[in-house]
Every structure is written in C-alpha cells, then in structure tokens.
Structure 1
Amino acid sequence: RGSSTVVMGASFRSTAQIEALAGCDRLTISPDLLEKLDADFGELPRKLVAGAAEAVNVAAIDEAKFDADMAADPMATEKLATGIEAFAKDLQTLRQRIADELGG
C-alpha cells in the first residue's frame, strides 16, 4: 500500500500459524518453534503475495483513529502488551542461545 511501515508477525504458538504466513518478509519466531520448523522438510507453499493486498479497498487510518480504536478495545491493548513482553523474552532467549553457541 506504499507505506514505509514494516509489519512483523509475532507471538506465534504453533508452526501452523507461522506456515500460514509463508511469504511474509519478517516474522519473529521463538527458538523452540525455529527448531520445530528446522526439523520439518515437507512442502511449504507460499501463502502471501505482496500484490494481492493492493486489490483490497481499505479505509485509511491515522494515528488518532488508531489510538481511539485501541482505547476502545481492552483486548487489543492487552494482546499488544502481551505480544511485546513475549517478544522481549524471546529476544533475550535468542541472545543467550547465540552467546552459548559462540562459547560466551
């Protein structure tokens, strides 16, 4: 849609959720799920194609609208906070794992 924003999927609970986004440029995946994906040698067809989204008519949203929508939806606010916390925890686990692998 011409936006410079990068959307990064996160907080996955299963490999099926990750596989459903095959074709997405950026995902954050926990070390546990990375191991499961690494052990799977089956077919992984592309599910997402960048151009397909251009055909969908979606109303524009600005920061004020986004903030109002978030304030009106406690579940969205909670899930966003939970996702950020899980991302930070997974990042720390990944950093430790890399340090361990590098002998440090």
Structure 2
Amino acid sequence: SVGEIYTYYKKFGHETEVMGASFRNIGEILELAGCDLLTISPNLLEELQGMDETVERKLDPEAAHKADIARLDVSEKSFRWLMNEDAMATEKLAQGIRVFGQDMVKVREIVAKRL
C-alpha cells in the first residue's frame, strides 16, 4: 500500500516523493494525510473542502523512522519474484501504465489540434 511504501522510503532515507492517486472516496485520501503528494479529482476536492472536522496526519516521517521494519536487499531476480507474488502491485502497475499511455495519446491529440 502507499502507506507501507511511504514508511519504508522514509525509514531508510530514500530521496523520493511518494504520491497517492486514483482515489475513489475521501476516506482513502484521509488515510494518506501527510503523504508527500496526492492527486485528487475536483469532485473529491470539493468534498474535502466541505468537511468541518480536523484532519489527522496519518503518514509522518518521524513515525516512519521508528517503524519496526527490515531493510530489503533486492536483486532484479528477487524484485521480479516479489512483484509476481503481489497481485495488487502487478495489476495496479500495469493499469497505471495503460492509463498514463491513454492519457498521453489524448494530450498529444489536444496539442496537435492547437498547433
């Protein structure tokens, strides 16, 4: 999950930003409060703006540093095996690549019409 990735990267000092995306409801967004980056659709942003309650930070680099998790020693072979064993990671990665590819085609079409 994004939370597990965030915690791992922050604990072991990986200099990257973690981004959550493809939210279906504001509950999913609130569970990632504190994540480096979130892509949120306009309708969910409106729902968030309408909230009256305080948002509790869920992801925190200081808490991540204290997490009881082991550093992974990953070779290409073990990475491929771990990806294969994680259906969600494999399916979501493939889905994300397809969607970004489709969006790239749409952007190119929009730009071509304006040139």
Give the TM-score band, short-chain normalised: 0.5 to 0.7
**Could you tell me which amino acid in structure 2 is paired with residue 21 of structure 1?**
L
1:40-99 C-alpha deviation (Å, 9 max, x unpaired): 23211222221111122323243513222113444431122224455x49x78xx9xxxx
Structure 1 stretches lacking a partner, 5+ long? 96-104
In the alignment, which residue of structure 2 is the partner of 1:13?
Answer: 24
Whole-Å Cα distance in 1 between the matches of residues 61 and 14 of structure 2? 13
> Alpha carbon RMSD of aligned pairs, Å?
2.7
**Stretches of structure 2 lacking an aligned partner (at least 5 in a row):** 1-11, 108-115
The share of aligned pairs that are identical, in percent, is 45
Structure 2: which amino acid aligns with 1:54? H
SS at match of 2:64: helix
Q: What is the TM-score when the length of structure 2 is the normalising length? A: 0.62
Instruction: Look up the match of 2:4.
Output: none
> Equivalent of 2:42, from 12, 20, 31?
31
TM-score (norm 1): 0.67
Q: Does 1:66 align with 2:82?
A: no
Residues 67 and 48 (structure 1), Cα distance of their counterparts in 2 relative to 1, 3 Å cut: same
Tell whether 2:62 aligns with 1:48: no
Distance 1:85 1:24 in 2: 24
Change in CA separation of 1:21 and 1:75 when aligned onto 2, cut-off 3 Å: closer
- What is the aligned length? 91
Contact 1:10/1:83, CA 8 A, preserved across alignment: no
